[in-house]
Amino acid sequence: METPVSLFADKAKLFVHEVQEFSRLCWAGLTGIFKRPRYVREVIYQMDVIGVGSIPIIILTGIFTGMVLALQTSVQLKIFGASMYVGKVVAKSMVSELGPVLASLMVAGRVGSGIAAELGSMVDTEQIDAMKVEGSDPIKKLVVPRLIACVLMLPLLTVIADAVGLFGGQLIAVYQLRIDSAFYWSSAFDILDYRDVIPGLVKPAFFGFIIAMVGSHQGLTTHGGTVGVGRSTTESVVYSSISILASDFFITKFFLYIL
């Protein structure tokens, strides 16, 4: 019978092993970007799947986030007689924080799970082993294109989420709060500067790296048949979301310090 100490030791060893394997995969993925061969066609295909395919959910997320943000903040600003400045709050919140985080969480749920499921199915059907026998590098051919696509497309999707979120805030400001549309947009752009834009574009690129690598790691370490594929898919979304929220704090802290 195993004691609690031995169980804890086994869990600790498993955790250290997972961190080690994940770190190796991250390093292999980063170095693989600069090595030949370069699967340009696969990268373009993944950019289409990850970027273009995620636009509808990004638009829905952005517009309703902007509307809810304007609706909630207007109630608080009304106490101080400052409802007219709702555009400043929506712009500041969307560009610097809500846009990058919510867009990345949506992509993590849609794309991260897909990466884990696809690679996990390839492991289960021994396609990964077949690639190794043929002399192909699975990381170079499967992981690196998804990594490049995620890092490139997440900032673009975030820009779309920010723009749509500001538009959603305008709908509430104009049609419910009776604020002039021109004043809303001028106040929104007046509050923004490089200290908001730079972190708002760097964060999603880093989050894209997390989504691609966590999804790839969970997929490549799948075991247990179809049940294992489902487990890897779920864990990919959970781990990606937690990592995005945790890293967002440290990235925000870093940019507040240097900017």
pLDDT, tens only, 28-53? 999 999 888 888 999 999 999 999 99
Show the CA angle centred on residue 117, arms to residues 241 and 114, nearest 5°. Answer: 55
pLDDT tens for each residue of 204-245: 999 999 999 999 999 999 888 888 888 999 999 999 999 999
Q: What is the DSSP letter of 111?
A: I
The pLDDT of residue 75: 85
Instruction: Pick the range with the lowest mean pLDDT from 12-16, 40-44, 148-152.
Output: 12-16
Average pLDDT score over residue span 61-67: 94
Q: How confident is the model at residue 9 (pLDDT cuts 50, 70, 90)?
A: confident
Please state, in angstroms and rounded to a whole number, the distance separating the CA atoms of residues 238 and 105: 10
The pLDDT of residue 2: 58
Residues near 199 by beta carbon (within 8 Å), at least 6 away in sequence: 96, 100, 251, 252, 255, 259
Task: Mark residue 2 as left, alpha or beta (left: phi above 0; alpha: psi -120 to 50; beta: remaining).
Answer: beta
pLDDT tens for each residue of 95-142: 999 999 999 999 999 999 999 999 999 988 888 888 888 888 889 999
User: Scanning the structure block, which residue is given the tokens 């955790």?
Assistant: 15
Q: CA-CA distances (angstroms) from residue 210 to 84, 190, 245, 249?
A: 38, 32, 11, 14
Q: Which of 204, 238, 201 has the alpha carbon at shortest distance from 218?
A: 238
The pLDDT of residue 242: 95
The pLDDT of residue 1: 53
Crossing angle, helix 4-32 and helix 194-220, to 10 degrees?
A: 110
Please state, in angstroms and rounded to a whole number, the distance separating the CA atoms of residues 103 and 159: 9
Task: Mark residue 137 as left, alpha or beta (left: phi above 0; alpha: psi -120 to 50; beta: remaining).
Answer: beta
Q: What is the DSSP letter of 33?
A: T
Please state, in angstroms and rounded to a whole number, the distance separating the CA atoms of residues 217 and 120: 9
Percent of the chain with pLDDT over 90: 64
pLDDT tens for each residue of 185-214: 999 999 988 888 999 999 999 999 999 999
| Contact call for residues 236 and 109 (beta carbons, < 8 A) | no
Please state, in angstroms and rounded to a whole number, the distance separating the CA atoms of residues 81 and 182: 20
Residues near 146 by beta carbon (within 8 Å), at least 6 away in sequence: 46, 50, 115, 212, 215, 216
The most confident of the ranges 72-81, 82-91, 104-113, 128-137 is 104-113
- Under DSSP, is residue 135 helix (H, G, I), strand (E, B) or coil? coil
Please state, in angstroms and rounded to a whole number, the distance separating the CA atoms of residues 119 and 146: 11
Please state, in angstroms and rounded to a whole number, the distance separating the CA atoms of residues 153 and 48: 9
